[in-house]
Structure 1
Amino acid sequence: MCFWSVTFLKVKLGYDDSLDAFGVHGVGGMLGALGTAVVASPALGGTGVWDYVANGVAEYNMLGQLGSQLWGVVLCIIWSGVVSFLAFKLVDMLIGLRVTEDVEREGLDINEHGETAYHI
């Protein structure tokens, strides 16, 4: 799934992810979180879920656990989206997210760091 998201999904949706962080960590993390519902099943050799009230392993329901895991994934997506949006807006208001077109054409290495990346 991670390979598919890096090679096909990124091209299909057209998003810019030069390090493939979303394809590897985002998609892989979501798949792993949902897969926990399967591998935790005692019927498949998993440990189940611990009931802290009864102080023992609770009755396991794979679909119920999948719903809980999906709820966590959705909340994580929403939280990350809202916090990222607010952070980008704050940075945009304070210092801006883009450099000028002239600086971008000349190169950020020279303008921002006073160095060149390649000795030409």
Structure 2
Amino acid sequence: PSLGGVGYADGMTMGNQFLGQVVGIGVVAIWSIIASVIIALMVSVLFPMRVDDQTERDGLDIASHGERAWEMD
């Protein structure tokens, strides 16, 4: 075997390598988005991700901690 060279297989160029990396990044991004949406939907069935309207109007600081974090009045 010869030593040296650029390390690319026959027929492989820098552009082909770059394209392969870009395709890989795109596939992983799409996979992550789909998996995240599926997980969020499954979790939302068991644990609602929204609070009721009155709690949202009052503020989650009061609902969760019993006090205001910021005095806005």
TM-score by length of 2: 0.73
The corresponding residue for 2:41 is 89
Give the direction of change, closer, same or farther, for the CA distance of 1:115–1:65 in structure 2 (3 Å limit).
Answer: farther
Indicate yes or no: 2:27 matched with 1:75.
yes
* Count of aligned positions: 67
Segments of structure 1 that go 5 or more residues without pairing to the other structure are 1-53
Indicate yes or no: 2:16 matched with 1:64.
yes
> Once the 2 structures are TM-superposed, how far is the Cα of residue 61 of structure 1 from its aligned partner?
1.7
Segments of structure 2 that go 5 or more residues without pairing to the other structure are none
Seq. identity, % = 36
TM-score by length of 1: 0.48
Residues 68-110 of structure 1: per-residue CA shift (max 9 Å, x gap)? 1111111121111111111111111001111111111000111
> Once the 2 structures are TM-superposed, how far is the Cα of residue 115 of structure 1 from its aligned partner?
2.9
Larger Rg: 2
- Rounded to whole Å, the distance in 1 between the matches of 2:66 and 2:3 is 62
Asked which structure has the greater RCO (Cα within 8 Å, sep 6+), the reply is 1
Higher helix share: 1
Give the direction of change, closer, same or farther, for the CA distance of 1:63–1:77 in structure 2 (3 Å limit).
Answer: same
Deviating 4+ runs (over 6 angstroms): none
